Amino acid sequence: MVGDVAPTLDTKSRAIWTEDGRIRALGGEDEIRRASPTGAEMVDLAGAVVMPGLIDSHAHLLQTGLGWSRVSLADARSIDDIVQAIAERVRATPDGDWIQCSSRWHETRLREGRLPTVEELDRAAPRHPVYLPRGGHVVVTNHIGLELAGITASDTDPEGGQFVRDGERKLTGMLLEAPAFRRLTRLLPQATEEDRQAALQEAGTAFSRSGITSVREPGLDVAGVKAYQTAVDRDHPIRTSLMWRVDLGQTDDERTEWLEQLGPAPGVQNDGWPEVWGLKITLDGGVEGGYFKEGYANDPQQHGFPLTSQESLNRFVQRAHTFGWRIGIHVVGDAAMDMALIAFEGAGPTEQVVRRGHVLEHAFVPPPGGIERTRRLGLGVTLQHALVYSLGGNMRTYWGEERAANCTPTREWVDSGVAVGAGTDTPVTDFDPWLNIFGFMTRETDVAGVLGPEHRITAAEALRMYTTGSAKILGAGNVVGSLEPGKLADFICLDRDPLSAAPDEVRATRVLRTVVGGRAVHSIG
């Protein structure tokens, strides 16, 4: 292929020769023409800019695809819009069946700036139970939903969750964190294998159109892992690195038994996908439930909560580490990140922990010294400006100005020497990598203005996070992330050079062609 090739983002080349899914050589056009066999197909990219394929190091691709068949609230701008969208689905759904909404929307985009109430959902769906998630930590339901789940106003809150109530102690329909909404999710009709295959194909196609060639999937069950294995046999266009979801609802003993059944870690080979990367632990909540040392700005008594104790976490991390597993721990608040660091510090001999390459997911608010401890332990971190972009409004409300402005301190992370991967956490947010890169460059948010401009990074730094940085997180730096002879031929052809474009132009980047293993999985024009 002939174009403007930026193989490592720092060097330039004119042509790229691929063979058997790998890169054979890069060089000048004549040089490559001479070197490649006669009759080799030559694709002229007509001046397109060629870069390594993008790697989203924290993307729930399967859930993103499954979400697309649910009621979309992304365009809702008022509670009325939500009521109408649900009512429309109600009209096409037999009485009593669940109405499920997609989690990718946010109340800060509504005129009212709040979640709908149980009564408003009753108005939209008087004869159907409603499951309305927002992100991964909040669910709202109507009275039929509460009734089916057996949640009443006299119930005490489950450990690690909250049945949110109003001033008169009446249920609002909002259920905070998995322990609170597990009784509801248990009742939802399970996606079939057919649904999962359709979701993976649909989302995979959309991802490759945006320039993503690999993702790391944080948190799957048996059916999810199986679905990926099947999808790959059907030419799924995205390479995937999978993580088993660790269930913190289990007792220590149950979790140990689960780990023993799973057996020793498979060891990443990087020669076939999907690969099982490791385990995913969700240690605290999201914006409204993250575990902080200081109280919440809107409720100083509230610190959020960890979903397990320090002792249980230590025990599990140590055991899994001994079994050879890599572990990614979701941490939002500074207190949660501190817990995760303590667990990794005690997981085994430091050199061994460093070699393993465990990862912190999100790490929105590092405690003082936390970035340095992360570096010393050889941990990687996955950062998602996309989350700050869409949740910034609530970060301000719940965490206060200062914590919100300093969340996801990308500048510090990038300068620290820690392996930093870029991601979006779709379907909580949009998977669009160009919007995410724009956000990393500007610290712009959807409705909360610019948060912490001192944490801005350059386009080159953001693209490095999306390529070599994420590849390192995946433990696949030897095969993807840059274009070099012997590496996999995963690259994208763009209509502009984002390295020298202004943020708004970067955001509008069009991907003309996406190549995975030498095969064009997307091309236009």
**Which residues form the interface with Zn ion (CB under 5 A)?**
218, 425
Our CB check for Zn ion shows the closer of 282 and 442 to be 282
Q: What angle, 0 to 180 degrees and rounded to 10, lies between the N-to-C axes of helices 193-209 and 222-233?
A: 60
Our CB check for Zn ion shows the closer of 62 and 451 to be 62
Q: At closest approach, how far in Å is the CB of 344 from Zn ion?
A: 19
Q: Which residues partner with 202 through β-bridges?
A: none
Our CB check for Zn ion shows the closer of 32 and 220 to be 220
Q: At closest approach, how far in Å is the CB of 364 from Zn ion?
A: 12
If you ran DSSP here, which 8-state letter would residue 456 be given? -
Our CB check for Zn ion shows the closer of 57 and 308 to be 57
Spatial CA neighbour of 265 closest among 254, 251, 275, 250 = 275
Spatial CA neighbour of 130 closest among 182, 180, 64, 184 = 184
Q: At closest approach, how far in Å is the CB of 58 from Zn ion?
A: 6
Q: At closest approach, how far in Å is the CB of 330 from Zn ion?
A: 7
**How far out from the chain centre does Cα 271 lie?**
24
Q: What does the DSSP assignment read for 374-422?
A: HHHTT-EEEE-HHHHHHHHHHHHHHHHHHHHHTSS-HHHHHHHT-EEEE
Q: At closest approach, how far in Å is the CB of 510 from Zn ion?
A: 27
In what helix (H) or strand (E) does residue 352 lie, and over which residues does it extend?
helix 350-356
Extended strands (E) in 57-191: 99-100, 130-134, 138-140, 162-165, 171-176
Please say whether the beta carbons of 318 and 259 come within 8 A. Answer: no
Q: At closest approach, how far in Å is the CB of 383 from Zn ion?
A: 12
* Residue 222 tokens, joined: 């048996």
Helix (H, G, I), strand (E, B) or coil at 69: coil
Strand order in the sheet with 138-140: 99-100, 130-134, 138-140, 171-176, 162-165
Q: Give the list of residues 6+ apart from residue 353 with CB closer than 8 angstroms, or none.
A: 321, 344, 345, 347, 377, 378
Our CB check for Zn ion shows the closer of 132 and 215 to be 215
Q: At closest approach, how far in Å is the CB of 281 from Zn ion?
A: 12
Please say whether the beta carbons of 48 and 494 come within 8 A. Answer: yes
Sign of the torsion angle spanned by Cα atoms 25, 27, 31, 34:
positive
Our CB check for Zn ion shows the closer of 60 and 513 to be 60
In angstroms, the Cα distances linking 295 to 112, 259, 305 are 25, 35, 11
Our CB check for Zn ion shows the closer of 425 and 444 to be 425
Q: At closest approach, how far in Å is the CB of 139 from Zn ion?
A: 16
Let me know how long the chain is: 525
Q: At closest approach, how far in Å is the CB of 63 from Zn ion?
A: 9
Measured from each CB, the residue nearest to Zn ion is: 425
Our CB check for Zn ion shows the closer of 18 and 426 to be 426
Our CB check for Zn ion shows the closer of 218 and 378 to be 218
Our CB check for Zn ion shows the closer of 425 and 490 to be 425
If you ran DSSP here, which 8-state letter would residue 488 be given? B
Q: At closest approach, how far in Å is the CB of 71 from Zn ion?
A: 21
